Amino acid sequence: MFIFVKHKNTYTMSKPRFFQAVLKEVNGNVLDHVYPNLKGKDQITLAERMGSDKANCPDCDCNSWILLPKESVAVAQGGKAYCECMNCGLATHL
């Protein structure tokens, strides 16, 4: 199966391409990590954004999240840093 790739406002057929992300734990303030331009400034806290400092998922109560890459559709279209619950897959923005 082939997919169409947009290049200079035209679509050409291309072989499928797959990419694998490597999970690496973020140390420190995750909001400083995803919004480095706001580091040290008056920005929203994790408790304000996720409901508590524990950042539990509202669907399954897990508190482990995957930060989606900036190339993902959610981030590219939403314009914010998005994360996904590692247990149930709920996606939300930071």
pTM of the shown model = 0.75
What six digits make up the tokens of 25? 């734990």
Task: Check pLDDT > 50 for residue 1.
Answer: no
Contacts of 84 (CB under 8 A, 6+ apart): 65, 66, 68, 90, 91
At 41-80, the pLDDT tens digits run 888 899 999 999 999 999 999 999 999 988 888 877 878 8
Cα dihedral sign, 88-89-90-94: positive
- The full set of domain ranges for the chain reads 21-93
